[in-house]
Structure 1
Amino acid sequence: MDHTQRASGLEYAKPISIGSDVWIGGSAVICPGVKIGDRSVIGAGSVVTKDIPPDVFAAGNPCKVIRSL
């Protein structure tokens, strides 16, 4: 809660990578460090905790591949 402590670098986030032509449904959460492959679709409300390969539909909590596109 202390702004000085937050600004000191005590915590930091890892970047995420979202490929080309990706669709992310509403209220999806993408955790730090995750990569989503090109042309994939992430279902609404999903919590993406691990990398998602290209050309798949993935959804759920935790988000997992449902089928190939």
Structure 2
Amino acid sequence: MAQHGGGGDAPGECVPRIGNDVLLGCGCVLLGDIEIGDGAVIGANAVVTRSVPAGCTVAGVPAKIVRCREGASVG
């Protein structure tokens, strides 16, 4: 079950934005005004507090990048 705070997509709502083809592992938590890039993978039970670049995999508490697909830009 997905839960989020705020009432919509208005600026300042602090709701995570999730791209296309994103895999969210069981029990992961996305906190704050962050963006999950297209094709990203979020590990099970990860706590994501920062944006995740497209094509990257994150895991852990707090979540850290563990791998990025070739050609993915990590800023």
TM-score by shorter chain over 0.5: yes
Structure 2 gaps of 5+ residues are 1-11, 70-75
Aligned partners of 2:15 and 2:48: how far apart in 1?
A: 14
Secondary structure at the aligned position of 1:20 is classed as coil
Secondary structure at the aligned position of 1:38 is classed as coil
Aligned partners of 1:44 and 1:26: how far apart in 2?
A: 5
Which protein shows a greater Rg?
A: 1
State the partner residue of 1:26.
26
TM-score (norm 2): 0.72
Structure 1 gaps of 5+ residues are 1-11
Aligned partners of 1:36 and 1:47: how far apart in 2?
A: 13
RMSD, aligned α-carbons: 1.4
Aligned pairs, how many?
Answer: 58
Aligned partners of 1:34 and 1:46: how far apart in 2?
A: 14
Instruction: After TM superposition, give the deviation of residue 13 of structure 1 in Å.
Output: 4.8
Report the structure, 1 or 2, having the larger helix content: 1
